[in-house]
Amino acid sequence: MTDSPRNARPGGSPPALTHQRADGAVHMVDVSAKGETKRVAVAQAVLITRADVIDLLVSGNLPKGEALAQARIAGILAAKQTSSLIPLCHPLFLTGAEVDFAAAGDRVRIEATVSTTGKTGVEMEALTAATVAALTLYDMVKAVDRAAVITDVTLLSKSGGASGTYTREAP
């Protein structure tokens, strides 16, 4: 298989996918020509369980101990490791990562906010942080509810870069 120019298709039209060359091979996009901008992404995940389990979670009385602090740290660590987990993500110098929780009824909503000043966005880092925090909560509650569900992993917003601001519309 021969290599063809990375950013052109036969006839000079732009590639359909930025991570795919004209010959169909994947590659890591070259962002060296892009300008650095402040970039922020916010993502969420939701853990659904029983209301009594949420009470144990919030009070820190789960059999495995205090879960929210562990999930927060796991989410932050995950944001920092995203390029090791997602093959075509660029390694980024993160300038901030926060993971917050809102528990109500039978669910806890995890919200991750990740920021950088760089040439590429942090959407994948925010999604990874929210997902790993949710997985950590699942691991902590499974002793009392193996039927817990992780759902609604979603990018809520992003800002910065050439594509500008995106905010997910409320359902």
Which domain CATH number covers 142?
3.30.70.640
pLDDT by residue for the chain (171 residues), tens only, comes to: 333 343 344 455 554 557 777 787 887 888 888 889 999 999 999 999 999 999 999 999 999 989 999 999 999 999 999 999 999 899 999 999 999 999 999 999 999 999 999 999 999 999 999 999 999 999 999 999 999 999 999 999 999 988 889 999 987
Domain that holds residue 132: 37-160
The structural domain count of the chain equals: 1
DSSP 8-state secondary structure symbol assigned to residue 105: T
Structure tokens belonging to residue 32: 């060296």
Q: Cβ distance 74 to 66 under 8 Å?
A: no
Does residue 72 fall inside a structural domain?
Answer: yes
Does residue 90 fall inside a structural domain?
Answer: yes
Instruction: Give the CA distances from residue 11 to residues 5, 14, 29, 122, in Å, rounded to whole numbers and listed in that order.
Output: 12, 9, 21, 33
pTM of the predicted structure, to 2 decimals:
0.86
Does residue 75 fall inside a structural domain?
Answer: yes
State yes or no: is 30 an active-site residue: no
Residue of 30, 100, 106, 139 marked active site: 139
Distance CA 14, CA 16 (A): 6
Q: Cβ distance 121 to 39 under 8 Å?
A: yes
Does residue 46 fall inside a structural domain?
Answer: yes
